[in-house]
């Protein structure tokens, strides 16, 4: 017959572990995480267990097992490599009506330790007929599906409340954080930006309200005030709202404005950071924004207005004089004026520059040129937003890597 699965709440309860080897090393941390008061009986222990003992988290009796060790235990784990000892421990536990898990003999064991995993408050336990490797494989598949939202695990009794500002990453749907994907799977309403990973929206349940908050350059746009009002309105209706944004909510994403609007209305807000395109897109093109001996600083600049525009608050002369990497967002259509300002204020016209369109996506395109020629090269190549511009000697690092790779090809 199959086992009767039960979730034991071990907080404050004594658990006896007989044996101090690798099996015990795997079992003890999970018991501690459940709040158990763990006692280990063994002449010796592994270094990992020794660390837990030194930290005062585990009680250790440095001796062989003795009859009476099971007294007061709610659960016993027989984990030695001596079958006769495990048999004796199990016999004592059975006589005292204490559940005992034998690591060496699933058929003689009164209980099995399942392959377990946890995603938020969801615990997964798999026994698979006592086959630990098979159980672990099934556990991993289920936990992975819960983490990436492919298994519908929306709460019914204890739904999340308020608004979650979720950074969706630079574009590739696989680059959203685990936490972000979990919350997306719980949403009643999703308010999505144009640069958010749109492929994830196809995975939403049919009853999820999807609000397109795209801001198309020089085209249609939902005003920021309207977006703020939508977040507050839907949250006040008792719905859990996910504001799905590209990159990170607080890197030129107006996440701060949305957080303030919700706070003023008494709406709880959870912020989930995202991978910013300012770092991820250059990396996807093989260029580090910093590199030892080349650049020990990088600057991220929003170029929504040109350097000569009176609304610009950027200190372009200081950036031109610096030796750091410049990462320019929203700069493609003002690239000629940016390059002109940087050269005028001190940057060499031969400084390498790279422009990456659709970074991290299958449609990614890259143009590399000098600062003095990059605007013309980008125009000729038909590069359009969204694109990231990188200015600095780190561009050569990426080129060097490509050269090394090419030399090693057969």
Q: What is the pLDDT of residues 228-263, one digit of tens each?
A: 999 999 999 999 999 999 999 999 989 999 999 999
State the pLDDT at residue 217. Answer: 53
State the pLDDT at residue 329. Answer: 96
State the pLDDT at residue 177. Answer: 92
- Comparing 194 with 162, the larger pLDDT belongs to 162
State the pLDDT at residue 152. Answer: 62
How far is Cα 381 from Cα 355, in angstroms, rounded to an integer? 11
Active site residues: 193, 215
User: What distances in angstroms separate CA 304 from CA 299, 313, 383, 385, one per listed residue?
Assistant: 16, 11, 17, 12
At residue 167, does pLDDT exceed 90? Answer: yes
pLDDT digits (tens, 9 = 90+) for 144-164: 787 766 666 665 556 788 999
pLDDT digits (tens, 9 = 90+) for 293-308: 999 999 999 999 999 9
- Distant-in-sequence, close-in-space partners of 231: CB < 8 Å, separation ≥ 6: 163, 191, 241, 243, 258, 261, 262, 267
**What average pLDDT does the structure give for the chain?**
90
State the pLDDT at residue 286. Answer: 93
pLDDT digits (tens, 9 = 90+) for 22-73: 999 989 998 998 899 999 999 999 999 999 999 999 999 999 999 999 999 9
User: What distances in angstroms separate CA 144 from CA 148, 149, 166, 319, one per listed residue?
Assistant: 6, 8, 20, 44
Provide φ and ψ at 164, rounded to 5°.
-115, 120
Using DSSP's 3-state secondary structure scheme, residue 81 falls into coil
How far is Cα 396 from Cα 285, in angstroms, rounded to an integer? 12
Which among 377, 386, 391 is positioned nearest to 348, based on CA atoms? 391
Total-model pTM:
0.67
pLDDT digits (tens, 9 = 90+) for 122-141: 888 888 877 778 888 888 88
């Amino acid at each position: 017959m199959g086992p009767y699965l039960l979730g034991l709440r071990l907080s404050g309860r004594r658990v006896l572990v007989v044996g101090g080897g690798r099996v015990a090393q795997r079992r003890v941390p999970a018991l501690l995480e459940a709040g158990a008061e763990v006692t280990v009986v063994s002449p010796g222990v592994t270094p990992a267990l020794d660390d837990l003992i030194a930290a005062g988290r585990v009680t250790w009796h440095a001796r062989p097992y003795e009859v009476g060790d099971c007294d007061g235990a709610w659960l016993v784990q027989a984990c030695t490599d001596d079958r006769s000892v495990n048999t004796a421990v199990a016999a004592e536990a059975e006589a005292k009506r204490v559940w005992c898990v034998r690591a060496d003999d699933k058929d003689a064991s009164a209980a099995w330790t399942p392959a377990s995993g946890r995603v938020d408050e969801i615990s997964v336990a798999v026994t698979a007929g006592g086959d630990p490797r098979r159980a672990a494989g099934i556990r991993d598949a289920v936990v992975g599906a819960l983490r990436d939202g492919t298994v519908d695990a929306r709460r019914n009794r204890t739904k999340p409340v308020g608004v979650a500002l979720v950074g969706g990453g630079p574009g590739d749907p696989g680059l959203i954080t685990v936490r972000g994907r979990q919350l997306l799977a719980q949403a009643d309403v999703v308010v999505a930006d144009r640069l958010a990973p749109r492929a994830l929206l196809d995975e939403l349940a049919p009853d999820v309200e999807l609000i397109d908050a795209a801001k198309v350059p020089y085209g249609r746009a939902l005003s920021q005030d309207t977006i703020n009002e939508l977040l507050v309105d839907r949250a006040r209706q008792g719905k859990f709202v996910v504001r799905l944004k590209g990159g990170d909510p607080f890197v030129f994403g107006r996440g701060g404005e949305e957080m303030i609007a919700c706070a003023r209305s008494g709406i709880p807000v959870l912020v989930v950071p995202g991978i910013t395109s300012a770092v991820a897109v250059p990396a996807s093109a093989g260029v580090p924004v910093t590199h030892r001996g080349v650049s020990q600083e990088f600057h991220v600049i929003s170029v929504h207005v040109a350097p000569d525009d009176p609304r610009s608050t950027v200190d372009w002369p200081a950036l031109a004089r610096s030796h750091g990497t410049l990462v320019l967002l929203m700069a493609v259509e003002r690239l000629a004026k940016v390059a002109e300002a940087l050269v005028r204020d001190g940057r060499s016209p031969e400084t390498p520059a790279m422009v990456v369109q659709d970074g991290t996506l299958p449609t990614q395109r890259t143009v590399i040129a000098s600062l003095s020629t990059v605007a013309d090269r980008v125009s000729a190549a038909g590069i359009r937003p969204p694109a990231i511009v990188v200015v600095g000697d780190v561009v050569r690092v990426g080129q060097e890597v490509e050269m090394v790779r090419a030399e090693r090809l057969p």
